[in-house]
Chains A and B, each alone.
Chain A
């Protein structure tokens, strides 16, 4: 069975500070995908990143960066120089890579508030 845990239900920082959102996952599959999604107040999920379990290289996209540590089953997300528009709920998710696997398993989400 797969499980994704986002221990931080809420996080709040002042604008321009850096913030890291934690994600820990459990799976018996050797190959899988990990995802991060952003859900702003409007409700629509915004895709941020997909990472293959074979690729442990960290990734940076603008102010966003992701740290994938297979040894600790973690896929943490860092926002540098945070902005008020980053306020949203962020979900980490897991999906096996095996043929026919369809389910995307979501974590509980972290509600991030960036205060001006």
Chain B
């Protein structure tokens, strides 16, 4: 089956620093990638949708200048949390889909970010 990887799996950073999270589709080309955030004991909340080669579409309430998303290739998308604060501590999950209308959406294992 299709595999999506994320790196790092967990990261601890100091308040004010930036953190980059990578999401890779290992055995397929992902035209569309999604970034979710999940707080403890809560559901997944979609942050943004990105199509390869174009700007990401952010959900309402998500600061695009704080959460920078780059989808430069068909197998790699990155999420950079800029000037991280403790309230940004969360579980970040990426997901990839083949084509804009692809049925299957494959999820990465997630990245746990802790900002101290």
User: Which A residues have a C-beta under 8 Å from some C-beta of B?
Assistant: 33, 37, 42-45, 47, 50, 91, 99-100, 102-104, 106-109, 111
A42 to B111, CA, bound (A): 11
Known: A102-B32, A102-B100, A104-B105. A44 touches B110 (CB 8 A): yes
Known: A50-B103, A106-B43, A108-B42. A45 touches B93 (CB 8 A): yes
User: Which B residues have a C-beta under 8 Å from some C-beta of A?
Assistant: 32, 34, 41-44, 46, 49, 91, 93, 95, 97, 100-101, 103-110, 112
A50 to B91, CA, bound (A): 24
Contact A43 B112 (CB under 8 A): yes
A107 to B42, CA, bound (A): 10
Chain A residue numbers with a CB within 8 Å of B91 are: 43
Contact A99 B103 (CB under 8 A): no
Contact A44 B109 (CB under 8 A): yes
Contact B43 A102 (CB under 8 A): no
Chain B residue numbers with a CB within 8 Å of A100 are: 100-101
A99 to B110, CA, bound (A): 28
Contact A103 B93 (CB under 8 A): no
Q: Show 27 residue pairs from A and B whose CB-CB distance is below 8 angstroms, ordered by the A residue.
A: A42-B109, A43-B93, A43-B109, A43-B110, A43-B112, A44-B107, A44-B108, A44-B109, A44-B110, A45-B44, A45-B93, A47-B107, A50-B103, A91-B43, A91-B44, A99-B101, A102-B49, A102-B97, A102-B100, A103-B49, A104-B105, A106-B43, A107-B43, A108-B42, A108-B43, A109-B42, A111-B41
A33 to B105, CA, bound (A): 12
A103 to B44, CA, bound (A): 12
The 7 residue pairs across chains A and B that have the minimum distance between CB atoms: A45-B107, A44-B109, A43-B110, A106-B43, A108-B43, A106-B44, A109-B43
